[in-house]
Every structure is written in structure tokens, then in C-alpha cells.
Amino acid sequence: MYGNILSYEQNDNQITIYFEKQKVILQIIREDIVRVLVPYWMEDYQSAAIEEDKSVPCTYTVEEYENMITVKTGKLTIKLEDDGYMDVYDGSGKLLMSDYRGIRTLGGEVNDEANALLAAEGHVMENMAYNYPVQTVKALDTTDCFYGLGDKTGFINKRGYEYENWNSDLPQAHTESFPALYKSIPFLICKKKNAVFGLFFDNSFRSIFNLGKESEDYFFYGAEGGNLDCYIIGGNTMVEVVSGYTYLTGTTPLPQRWTLGLQQSRWGYESASDLLEVARGYRNHRIPCDAIHLDIDYMQGFRVFTWNEKQYGPIERLTGDLKSLGFKPVCIIDPGTKYEKEYFMYEEGVLGDYFVKDAEGKLYVNAVWPGDANFPDFGRSEVREWWASHHEGLLSNGIMGIWNDMNEPASFHGELPEDVQMHFEERQTTHEEMHNLYGHFMAKATYEGIKEISGRRPFVITRACYAGTQKYSTVWTGDNQSLWSHLQMMIPQLCNLGLSGFAFCGADVGGFGADCTKELMCRWIEAACFSPLFRNHSARGTKRQEPWQFGEECVDITRKYVELRYRFLPYIYDLFYQGTKTGLPVMRPLVLHYEDDPEVQNMNGEFLVGENILVAPVVVEGENKKIVYLPEGVWYDYWTGECFQGRQYIMKDAPLETLPIYIKAGSIIPTYDPVQYIGQRTYTTLRLLTTPGVASWNHYLDNGKDFRYKDGKYNLYHFEKDMAGNITTTMLHENFPGYLSIMVDPLLAK
Ligand code: GLC
């Protein structure tokens, strides 16, 4: 490998170690975060995910031994040996991670002959016997579990699988054997017996994580190019590791309050009257709803930044009508810009030299919805500014949010070749490096455009992204289907997205492709009513998915759970507020807070909302009971008040109208009386739902719209509850009109 250690140099927070054949740079970011950079490619790589210098001064020591250098902060010890082998220990000397000293077994049974036979029958074989040019192999223990990695399919614990980071638009039904989906978040949480740490590989080239698929002895990361650029994130708990990762890549900013309401979407609302009928449907059925989405149908021939006035009438008339019903319209914008002379986006793009080029320097063309299209070179700030400025027409006419799609980038005539010319700011590079960053930079452009034009907290939804995109956009999990297995998969997928920094995420409720049934729709509404992004969306040609399409029972159940969502809104908003500081998500796997409980390390069927609410939805057709695991502590059934000791499984009756919900003892949960839409009336009363036990909670209140909170225009309440149930309120910050009354609603415990 790298040969023997020759010498080292120390410069501020950077230690450069010279091996005979390679240089390795350690950067101390914080006591608990160390970057290990093996600059195979570029030493001064500017990260897309980490935008500022995050290092803070801290003391550390370097010790030199015969074949080894040890770098020690208060919380991490890195030992580098000859040949580049690295071991990492925590502050107490416990081994966290060890380079595997053996040789990869390289999937011995797979050879050319076997591959040819498998290919002949139509199987797609990954070439396992492949050593990546950028690769690191770590020892694996039998009890190690893995989490994070963004939107990957499958189960919460990624142990045993191989995943690929290559943003992919795959229309077939997603299953747990899919290596990749739309997002690349190369952040892995490694949970060991009694220890935990995170690894963030900041590299946007195609890469893989093999997490015990190839061998039970090791796991490995490999990339097709770039540096081996790894941030080791220590911490006493998984919570600290997630916080450390979002310290680096940024936390999800405070959203506008209405974006936490229900949103309705469908590809195929073909006219203003279609959209208004849906909006009125919600009001007539008294189901709260805040947003309605305009899919590609609203454009003229799928040309971005155009409006089909024939079908949709004047834009301001439609947005005005929707507004009077309390609906906020959100429009889709795709990157593929129709390749057509005289279309203003084409003309401007060519004139400004904003589109990507092929290897010969000719305008690159591939097909998407509008047919032949060009692709903006979003890595350059001037291209982002150009793109951002075009949102003016939509935003100044009442459009309240932008939905970015197809930005893997998706293309109908095969994938963009790897040598398509793109830029990372001024630096010229290729699609090979920029593919996984394309959605990130598009979302950033959209965020900046909305912020500049409207002054509001931008509401952007993106399908493709990279690590750090959470600063600019919420995400959804793309084209799922109306399948029970996809309802099941939503839980681990959203939980892992949350652990990967994306506090604001959601899946298409009811399923995008295929036909939904009444039972699936009801269960999906229940399972998703606490998911951060709560949007019902479906594809053209499938059964329509507005709740009333499935009869009265579905309408009643939907109303019950959407009202519940609106009731718990201040709690969810508080979690977002906390998340801006801690990086913790809203929707959390149980393992985040009970990491040493082996029962929850593979728990896919329930989740926490913050720390105080446990949700255990029924996600199997025909089932009307749910086996619920309650972790350590005391829990109360939200519906009956029944009290349970934790660390046990209980059986809960869950007929179609019942979502099992448990509230932790010692909770104060702020709630509001439900409204039909956010902004319908000012919230003058706050209700505190409490469970027995001593409790405290910080509650945050601001205008829920713009950035005035940054100038201190908000209230921060601190509630304390004693054993007798008395609540005292202290104002930690007071600079916003407060509530007229704060009431206490104790959960009637049995
Ligand atoms: C993609 C999106 C989907 C959208 C459709 C049409 O498939 O994932 O949500 O409805 O394109 O724009």
C-alpha cells in the first residue's frame, strides 16, 4: 500500500503524514471530528456539502513511534501505521474502527463464465471481483449495525447489503435489492456493541458501501474517482454522531409553518377547474389541507417557466382562487430545458453559455418530458443565478413553493455520458464528478431564487440530492407505488433520511405508481400523518387518490388523522426548531434513542416523533392488531390512557380507524386546535398535553413565514411540570405576540 512512514508535519489543525508512496492529511475539525484525507486526486478539494471551514481550535497531541503516528484529541485517537493502516479509538480508549489487515475475498464464485451464463438468462450481475481505485476496508464485528445512507431502499439496518451512490431514476417498483435510488448521501453510522461513530465520505463520484455482503469479516467503501476523503465523527451516543454530521453539512432550516400541513398532488390535474375542484373537495369534506401541487401539466409543452393559459387561465386568477380557499400552490420545475429555437430559456441559455456541453464542446442534448432538451450547468454560480431569477414570474404571481424533479439528472435516451463537460464553480470537470451533485446545485439555485425574490423561507422539494442539500430543500422518496411493501419501506427510508441530516422528508402518500385501495390509503394516511413532508401524490393513469375517491369511511379516517396532524403541529414545529440547533430529525428510528436495546436495532415497523411520541402503524393488509414494542420507560396509550412499562411487546387492537400512538411518561406536548389550513386564524390558545411525571419542554413561536426570527422576533417558552402536575412557564425569549391562553390537557391516564 503506502509503504513506511517517513515523516510528518504539523500545521495548526493539520497533520500531514508522509509515507513512502503516499501522503495522508489529518485535519482536526473538533475534538470529536477528524478528517482523514488521502489526496489521490485533489488536495485542496472544495466540498459541496461542507460550505464553510468548520474547524474550531482544540488541543491535540501527536506522538511518533517506530512504525506509527498517534494523533489524539480529547475524544478521538487515530493511530496510523506503516502502509497506511488506521485504527481509531474513542476518548476512553475503546476501539471504534480498525482497518482490515487481510485481503478482500473478492466474491470468489463469480467469474467470467458464470457472469456470461447469468447474463444470458437476463440477470444483471454486479462485478463483485472489483477493487476500486479509491477504497478502504474495515474490520467488521458480528454485532455491528449500520444506519444512514440517505434514501436507500430496504430495512433500517443496512448490515448485509451493498449500496451504490449514483443518483438513479428507476421507474420499476423499488425493492430492498436496489443498490441505489435518487439520492447520494455517503454518510454511514456504525453502531457497535457499546460504541458508535459516523463516517462521511465526501466524494461525489460513483461509490459503493459493501456492508458485510461480501464478507462477514469486513465492510468496505469504494469510489470510482476522487479522494479518499473521510470525516470520522465520534460521540458517546448516536444522537451525538448525527449532531456531529449535521454540524459539518448543515441542519435543516426552519420551514414555513404551512409546509407542515397536508399537501395534495397528482400528475394529471389538467386544468384550473381540476385543481379548484380538488381544493373545494377538501373544504367540503372538512379535511384540513394547505397546499396543492401543479405537476408538469401546467406548462406549455413541458417548457419550464411557461404557463399553459389555455387550460389554467391567467396564473394570478388561479393562485388567487386557491388562496381564497386557503391553498398554497406549489409548481414543479425540471432541469431539462426544451431544445428549441426561439424558446426564451433556450435562447438565453445559449447566449449566456449556461448549458452543459459534450466532450467535443457541442451543446449536449438528451430527451426528457419536452423531448430534446439541454441541461443547465448548475455547478456554476452564474448559471444558478440565471435559473433562480426565472422564478420571479411564478412567485410574484402567487406560487408559494417549487418542486424540483428529474434532477439526477434523468434522461430518456440513456444516461448522460460521463465525459459531458460540467463545472464545479469555476473548475471545469465532467458529469462523472457532477452527477451526484446535480440535484444539490439545482435545489440550491431554487432556494436562493425564492429567498431573494419572496423573502420567505424557501419551500423547495427535490428528488435528487447530495449530502448537505438539507440546507436548501426538503426531499421526497420519488416514485414509490401503491404497494403494501412500499408503505412498509417508507418507515426505514424516512428514518434513515432523518439520520442522514434530512429532517424534512416524506414519501408519496398513497403511493405514486399503481392503484391504491381504500385500506391501503387509510393505513398510509395513518402511517404518514407524523411524517415531516405530508403529501398525497399519484401518477397519471392510476386510480385517483383524493380521500373521497375511496368512500366515506376513508374520508372520516383521513379527517381524523389529518386533524391529529394539525393538532400536533406546534410539537412538530418545535422539533424543527430544535433540529436547527441539534440536527436531529422529526421522525426517528427507535435505535436513535435506545441504541443499546437489541430489540430496536432492526426495528422497521414503528418510529418515534421526537422523543415523546411513539407511532406504530399497521402496515400489513388485513391486519387489525399490531404488536408494539415499547422501549425503556413508561408509556401511555394516546387513545385510552392505558399505562405500560417499557421493554416489552404489547398487542394493540388496531381496526382500520386506529393508529397506535404512545406518549412517554413525563411529556409536555404543545398542541393547537385543528384548523382547515394554516393562516385560517391566529393561534391564540396553546394546549399542553401532559403525561404523569416530572417534565420540561421548550416551545418556540414565531410568524412561521420569513426570516424575522433571525432578528429576534420570536418567543421561547420554557414549561416545567412537577409531580403534582403543576406547570410553570418561564419566557426564555419574548419578542413576538404571544398566546391569549395556555391550557393544560392532562392525558387521562389509567
Ligand atoms: C416523475 C416524478 C413524479 C412526477 C412525474 C411527472 O416521475 O417523480 O413525482 O409526478 O415525474 O412530473
DSSP state of 46: P
Measured distance CA(265)–CA(627) in Å, rounded: 33
295 lines ligand 1 (CB under 6 A): yes
Residues with active-site annotation? 405, 408, 479
268 residue type, one letter = G
Measured distance CA(161)–CA(213) in Å, rounded: 5
Residue 587 grid coordinates: 421522525
Measured distance CA(649)–CA(442) in Å, rounded: 45
Measured distance CA(238)–CA(257) in Å, rounded: 28
Contact 438, 464 (CB under 8 A): yes
Side-chain half-sphere exposure of 547, counting CA atoms within 13 A: 31
Q: How buried is 319 (Cβ within 10 angstroms: 0-12 exposed, 13-18 middle, 19+ buried)?
A: buried
Q: Which residues pair with 513 in a beta bridge?
A: 481
Quickly list H helices, 500-633: 518-528, 552-567, 569-582
- Spacing, Cα 266 to ligand 1 middle (Å): 9
Contact 527, 487 (CB under 8 A): yes
pLDDT of residue 240: 98
334 lines ligand 1 (CB under 6 A): no
CA 265 to ligand 1: nearest atom: 10
Contacts of 665 (CB under 8 A, 6+ apart): 633, 634, 635, 636, 643, 691, 692, 693
Question: For residue 2, which of 135, 129, 107 has the smallest C-alpha distance?
Answer: 135
Give the 3-state secondary structure of residue 563.
helix
pLDDT of residue 496: 98
The stretches in the chain having pLDDT less than 70 are 107-111, 114, 123-129
Question: For residue 239, which of 671, 704, 591 has the smallest C-alpha distance?
Answer: 591
- Spacing, Cα 52 to ligand 1 middle (Å): 34
- Spacing, Cα 472 to ligand 1 middle (Å): 20
CA 295 to ligand 1: nearest atom: 12
CA 539 to ligand 1: nearest atom: 10
CA 410 to ligand 1: nearest atom: 1
pLDDT of residue 560: 98
pLDDT of residue 121: 75
The pTM score is: 0.97
Letter string b/e over residues 647-682, b meaning 16 or more CB atoms within 10 A of that residue's CB: eeebebebeeebbbbbbbbbbbbbbbebbbbbbeee
164 lines ligand 1 (CB under 6 A): no
Residue nearest to atom 12 of ligand 1 (CA): 296
Contact 402, 453 (CB under 8 A): no
pLDDT tens, residue by residue, 723-745: 999 999 999 999 999 999 999 99
Measured distance CA(492)–CA(471) in Å, rounded: 22
pLDDT tens, residue by residue, 105-131: 875 566 677 677 777 777 665 555 588
Phi, psi of 491 (to 5 degrees): -65, -60
pLDDT tens, residue by residue, 171-201: 999 999 999 999 999 999 999 999 999 999 9
478 lines ligand 1 (CB under 6 A): yes
Long-range contacts of 363-368 (CB under 8 A, 24+ apart): 363/339, 364/416, 364/420, 364/421, 365/339, 366/336, 366/411, 366/412, 366/413, 366/414, 366/416, 367/336, 367/411, 367/412, 367/413, 368/302, 368/334, 368/336, 368/406, 368/409, 368/410, 368/411, 368/412
Give the 3-state secondary structure of residue 528.
helix
460 lines ligand 1 (CB under 6 A): no
Residue nearest to atom 5 of ligand 1 (CA): 267
